[in-house]
Amino acid sequence: MKIGIVGCAGRMGRMLVGAVLDTDGVDLAGATERAGSDAVGRDVGEFLGRRQTGRVIDTDTLRLFEVSDAVIDFTTPAASVEHAGFAAEARTALVLGTTGLSPEDEAAIRDAAARTAIVCAPNFSVGVNLLMLLAEQAAAVLDDSYDIEIVEMHHRHKVDSPSGTALGLGRACARGRKVALDEVWCKARDGQVGARPRGEIGFATLRGGDVVGDHTIVFAGDGERIELSHRASSRAVFASGAVRAARWAAGRPPGMYSMRDVLGM
């Protein structure tokens, strides 16, 4: 099958191209970048310091969707909404790992999923998705006498906070407790905030260095504390998971899918 990569010059874009090139049974359909990027016009393999692929990086994103069985997108919210429209127009599966999406962005992507298969996830690591399942199960067992805090750390360049993965973990915990996350979350504390409300799901965000992604869910009760953690040491785990999702999504009926669907959880 043929997989295309949008935003191929970014940190994740480079990893995604490499994962496609290194995966048996798939071919790189092409790769795109924004107009004005130094990457445009170069062979994508050579750009990554690898063998030439015969695939030149260009800016024609719609054409990339037309020649691909699936396209992987880890770009920006505005770009991802546009790409979802291209996916719907070309009837090409889309694997979407962009975080920081607004409710309006998510609604537009759901509309596009009425015409093509879209796998949307805050994190494509198999380990993180297992962690989300465990978090949901733990939250269902531990009642709201156990306080839930989600601590995440990423590199200094990350622009959204809390991370999409942290919010995904929060949603998993909220599902376990059968509550809506946006009714119980606390994303920041500063000053005299008073005692912690029962049932609150709190977030703590750390940024610094080149940390790929650390996430810990703390269930703090009286007399005991349970912690579930995942630490990513390489973006390769996200890239390989995204390629797995692309292979699964190609040819699927239109709809919004998650990594739970891909992994059969």
Residue 64, exposed/middle/buried by CB under 10 A (0-12, 13-18, 19+)? Answer: buried
Residue 176 sits in the same domain as residue 88: no
The residues annotated with a catalytic role in the active site are 154, 158
If asked whether residues 57 and 143 sit together in one domain, one would say no
Which pLDDT tens digit goes with each residue over 213-236? 999 999 999 999 999 999 999 889
Specify whether 153 is located in the same domain as 246: no
Alpha-carbon gap, residue 104 to 81, rounded angstroms: 10
Contact 44, 21 (CB under 8 A): no
What CA–CA distance (Å, rounded) separates 166 from 155?
14
Q: For residue 224, give its domain range.
A: 126-232
CATH number at residue 47: 3.40.50.720
Q: Which residues pair with 217 in a beta bridge?
A: 150, 228
Pull the structure tokens for residue 167: 């919010």
Residues 178 and 215 in one domain: yes
Burial class (CB in 10 A: 0-12, 13-18, 19+), 76: middle
**Number of domains observed in the structure of the chain:** 2
Cα 38 to chain centroid, rounded: 26
Tokens of 178: 């059968």
CATH code: domain of residue 132: 3.30.360.10
- 108 and 131 share a domain? no
Q: pLDDT-based confidence at 89, cuts 50/70/90?
A: very high
Q: Write the CA distances from 253 to 114, 118, 145, 173, 207, integer angstroms.
A: 9, 10, 43, 29, 39
Taking only the tens place, the pLDDT of each residue in 109-168 is: 999 999 999 999 989 999 999 999 999 999 999 999 999 999 999 999 998 899 989 999
Exposure of 109 in the CB half-sphere (CA atoms within 13 A): 27
Same-domain status, 9 and 111: yes
Query: Are 53 and 181 found together in one domain?
Result: no
Q: Are residues 28 and 78 in the same domain?
A: yes
Same-domain pairing of 165 and 104: no
| Statement to judge: residues 115 and 36 lie in one domain | yes
Kindly state whether residues 220 and 174 are assigned to the same domain: yes
Domain co-membership, 141 together with 18: no
Phi-psi region of 186 (alpha: psi -120 to 50; beta: other; left: phi over 0): beta
Q: Where are the beta strands (DSSP E) in 38-184?
A: 70-73, 93-96, 117-120, 147-154
Tens-place pLDDT, residues 2-35: 999 999 998 899 999 999 999 999 999 999 999 9
The pLDDT assigned to 200 comes to 98
